[in-house]
Amino acid sequence: MSEKKKIMVISDHPMAPSGVGTQTKYFIEALINTGKYKFICLGGAIKHHDYAPQKIEGYGDDWIVQPVNGYGDQQIIRSALTMEKPDLIWFMTDPRFYHWLWDMENEVRVNVPMVYYHVWDNYPPPMFNRDFYLSTDVIASISKLTHDVVGKVAPEVENYYLPHAVNSDIFKKLEEQDIQNFAKEHFKEKYDPNRVVFFWNNRNARRKMSGSVLWWFNEFAEEVGPEKVQLIMHTDPKDQHGQDLEQIINHLEADDGRIVLSTQKVPPEILSILYNFADCTVNISDAEGFGLATLESLSCETPIIATMTGGLQEQVTDGENWFGVGLEPSSTAIIGSQNVPYINEDRISRESFMQAMRKMYNMTPEERSELGKLGSQHVQKNYGFESFNKRWIELIDKVIEEHSSWENRKKYQTWHLKEIA
C-alpha cells in the first residue's frame, strides 16, 4: 500500500463546538477514513490550557492536533513545512484571519497546493479579496452566494460549490417521550409542554441580532399571552462581542418562563434534543455565511424562521417548497472595516419578524410537522454526509493528482529574476 498523503489543516480546533470546528472535523473524518490520508492540524480559535500535541483517540499518529493561538503564524508554517513536509494545506474560515498566510504564498505554494474552504457572508463581490483568491490553488465555497462572488472576483481560480453537512445520525427526529423527559429535567420549573417554543442557537454577537430577537419576541409574547409561548436562547448571554442579554431580560421583566437562557456548552446529542423540543428555530442574522443551526434544526424536522441572506436563503426554501418562513430584508446597509472595506448587511424589520412568529404560532402542530418533514428531506438530499464526504474525497484526490507537491509540484508558476535594468 502506498504511503499516506499528509494534509495540514489550519482552522478552528476540530473538537471545538463552533460551526467551523464541526465542519473541519467532518472533513478530516471523511478523508482519514479512506485510509489514504493523515492529518496534522493547527487547532485555533479557542483558549488552550495545554499546548502539547494531541492525538485524536482512535486515530493514533494519523490525526494530530497542535494547539495554536489564533490560527498560527508564518514561523509556525515555515517550521511545519520543514519538519512535517505536508502534501497539501487546507484552511477554513473568514479571509481576514489569513492575510498573513497569503502574504507568504510564494514560500508555501512553490512546494504544496493550498485549498481554501471559503466562508463569505454577502454581496457586493469583494474585489479586495482578489489577490487572496489568486494566491490559492483551489477554493471550495460553502454557499451558492460564496461560489458566485468568487466567480465574479476571480473567475480564473478553480472554484467549487461544496456546502456544509449535517450528521443525521445525531440530528434526527427523536421519540416524543424522551424529548419531554429531558426538557422537564433540564428546564425544571420553566418547563411547560403547553407553550409554543421558539429556539435560538447562535453566538451572542451583533450581526446575529440577539438583542432584537429577545426584545421583539417579548413584544410578541405580550401580544399572544406570555404563558403561551417561550423563547429558548442557547448562547453566552455576556459574550464580549454581543449584548448583555440578562440585563435586557431584567429590564423587560421577562424572567417568568417566557424567555429561558441555556448557557451550558452541550454535546451535539443534547443539542439535537433541544431542536426536537422546539416548535421552530429562529435565525434572523443580518449577515450569515451559512448558518449551521438552522440546517441542524431542519434535520430534526423542526421548521425555521430565517433571513433571506447568505447561506440561510438556500436552507429555508429549495425554490419550490418552503421549510419555514423566509424574511426578505427591509433594508440593506453597507458596513465595513479596515480588513473588509464594504459588505452588505441585510436587516429585517420588527414587523416582518412579528408576522413570521404569528404565522408559526397560528399553525397547527401537524402543519409545523409537515414543514419540518419537508425540511428534513431537503437536508438529506442536499446536505447529507454521503454527498459531503464523496465530494471532498473526489476534490482532494483531484488536487493531489493534478497539483502534486514538492519535487513533483505542478500548476504553479515560479518567477525567476533574469536581469535588473
Q: Stretch 191-215: mean pLDDT, rounded? A: 93
Give the DSSP H/E element, type plus range, for residue 332.
Answer: strand 331-335
Q: What is the pLDDT of residues 232-284, one digit of tens each?
A: 999 999 998 899 999 999 999 998 999 999 998 888 999 999 999 999 999 99
Q: Which of 44-53, 266-275, 290-299 has the lowest average pLDDT?
A: 44-53
pLDDT for res 314: 92
Report DSSP state, residue 4.
P
The H helix count followed by the E strand count for the chain is: 15, 16
Residue 79 pLDDT > 80, yes or no?
Answer: yes
Residue 1 pLDDT > 60, yes or no?
Answer: no
Largest CA distance in the chain: 82
* Cα→Cα distances 405→31, 81, 262, 346, 395, Å: 18, 11, 47, 42, 16
The cell numbers describing 327, all together, are 424574511
> Structural domains in the chain?
5-165+384-408 (3.40.50.2000), 176-382 (3.40.50.2000)
End-to-end Cα distance, the chain? 53
Which residues have C-beta within 8 Å of that of residue 71, sequence separation ≥ 6? 10, 11, 42, 44, 45, 91, 93, 97, 98, 101
pLDDT for res 67: 87
**CB-based contact 29:5 (threshold 8 Å):** no
Q: What is the pLDDT of residues 167-190, one digit of tens each?
A: 999 999 999 999 999 999 888 888
**CB-based contact 82:53 (threshold 8 Å):** no
pLDDT for res 2: 67
Residue 362 pLDDT > 80, yes or no?
Answer: yes
Instruction: Band the pLDDT of 49: cuts 50, 70, 90.
Output: confident
**CB-based contact 300:292 (threshold 8 Å):** no
Cα separation, 137 vs 148, in Å, equals 17
**CB-based contact 140:117 (threshold 8 Å):** yes
**CB-based contact 140:120 (threshold 8 Å):** no
Which residues have C-beta within 8 Å of that of residue 79, sequence separation ≥ 6? none
Instruction: Band the pLDDT of 157: cuts 50, 70, 90.
Output: very high
pLDDT for res 415: 67
Cα separation, 222 vs 258, in Å, equals 10
Spell out where 202-323 has E strands.
Answer: 229-234, 259-262, 280-283, 304-307
Residue 384 pLDDT > 70, yes or no?
Answer: yes
Question: Which residues, listed in sequence order, are joined to residue 382 by a DSSP beta bridge?
Answer: none
Cα separation, 360 vs 355, in Å, equals 9
Cα separation, 222 vs 355, in Å, equals 14
pLDDT for res 417: 63
Residue 105 pLDDT > 80, yes or no?
Answer: yes
Q: Stretch 308-327: mean pLDDT, rounded? A: 94
Contacts 24+ apart (CB under 8 A), 238-242: 238/204, 239/203, 239/204, 239/205, 241/203, 241/204, 241/205, 241/206, 242/203, 242/204, 242/205, 242/206, 242/208, 242/210, 242/211
pLDDT for res 188: 85
Query: Please, what sign has the CA dihedral across residues 208, 212, 215, 218?
Result: negative
Instruction: Band the pLDDT of 153: cuts 50, 70, 90.
Output: very high
pLDDT for res 207: 87
Q: Stretch 16-28: mean pLDDT, rounded? A: 88
pLDDT averaged over every residue in the chain: 93
Alpha helices in 383-416 (DSSP H): 385-403
